[in-house]
Amino acid sequence: MRRPLLVANWKMNKDRDGARAYARALLTALEAAPPSETEVVVAPPFTLLETLGTAFEGSRVGLAAQNVSAEVQGAHTGEISAEMLSELGCQYCLVGHSERRANQGETSTQVAEKAAALLEAGLRPIICVGETGAEREAGRTAEIVGQQLEMSLPRISTPTANHLVVAYEPVWAIGTGVTATPEQAQEVQALLRERLRTILGESAEDVRLQYGGSVGPHTIQALMNQPDIDGALIGSAALDPETFEQMIANTHWENTSP
């Protein structure tokens, strides 16, 4: 069974006081909420990982980083290794977010190497893929996301499929307020699942597929009702702890796979 996974991607936002206040508010809201199967993770900037790791210790909230080096150690100024993230209490790490692909020129090959480094260190990569608006308009969505997925998967002999997460984040939906319709998202997510089946065989059923791009409290349930949407990667709406908690509360999981 694929457990639903909601991740708050803070991007480059918040300071230490803001992080502490967020953690307190989120934990308080979650304590008051009815029990739920949904796995909840927050991905702050590197500088706030330790603060949040301490604040969330012993709670149901997990920790993710937003980037990692593919290297294990050594002369890589400014880089941070998977082991270092693990030491800070991270269980997950985003790789290949479209903002990094576009602004830092990150390639799918590099993303695959980073994902492999994370798996080696016992962390779970969240591999992001997604087409631009122009690519969608040109009818190239399947080609682009299919290629990104195939090239971004870690080249390791036996990928532990239930440790892999793939996030479909159409670039045109990120930070625009325009969410993909549940049908648009499902169409691409089904395609991703099909590609995963070709590569991983039956284990593809264990890979969790998230949707990301302007997800909010009013859109999350319809998205999560889709058979190949197992979670959400949320940016701006999850910067507010109460709104994030509302999204967690609005996620009812009935469509689960095997």
Segment 143 to 162, residues that bind ligand 13P, using CB under 6 A: none
96 binds ligand 13P (CB under 6 A): no
Candidates 82, 76, 15, 22; CA nearest to 45 is: 15
> Residue 155 or residue 218: which is nearer to ligand 13P going by CB?
218
Among the candidate windows 107-115, 153-161, 219-227, 232-240, which touches ligand 13P by CB under 6 A? 232-240
E-strand stretches of the chain: 5-9, 39-43, 61-65, 92-95, 124-129, 165-168, 208-212, 231-234
76 is catalytic: no
Number of helical (H) and strand (E) elements in the chain, helices listed first: 10, 8
> How far, rounded to the nearest angstrom, does the alpha carbon of residue 215 sit from its chain's CA centroid?
13
How big is the site for ligand 13P, counted in residues (CB under 6 A)? 14
> Residue 103 or residue 158: which is nearer to ligand 13P going by CB?
103
> Residue 171 or residue 204: which is nearer to ligand 13P going by CB?
171
Largest interatomic CA distance in the chain: 48
Buried b (16+ CB within 10 A) or exposed e, 46-80: eebbbbbbebbeeeebbbbbbbbbbeeeeeeeeeb
Question: 39, 97, 106, 245: which is the annotated catalytic residue?
Answer: 97
* Cβ proximity of 95 and 68 under 8 Å: yes
Candidates 190, 108, 117; CA nearest to 149 is: 108
Tell me if residue 209 falls in helix, strand or coil: strand
246 binds ligand 13P (CB under 6 A): no
Among the candidate windows 137-145, 153-161, 193-201, 231-239, which touches ligand 13P by CB under 6 A? 231-239
214 binds ligand 13P (CB under 6 A): yes
* Cβ proximity of 234 and 212 under 8 Å: yes
- Residue closest to ligand 13P when measured from CB atoms: 235
Among the candidate windows 80-88, 196-204, 211-219, 223-231, which touches ligand 13P by CB under 6 A? 211-219
Among the candidate windows 19-27, 112-120, 154-162, 167-175, which touches ligand 13P by CB under 6 A? 167-175
For ligand 13P, which residue of 30, 121, 215, 247 counts as binding (CB under 6 A)?
215
213 binds ligand 13P (CB under 6 A): yes
Neighbours of 16 (CB within 10 A): 12
User: What residues make contact with ligand 13P under the rule CB under 6 A?
Assistant: 9, 97, 169, 174-175, 212-215, 233-237
Just list the catalytic residues.
97, 169
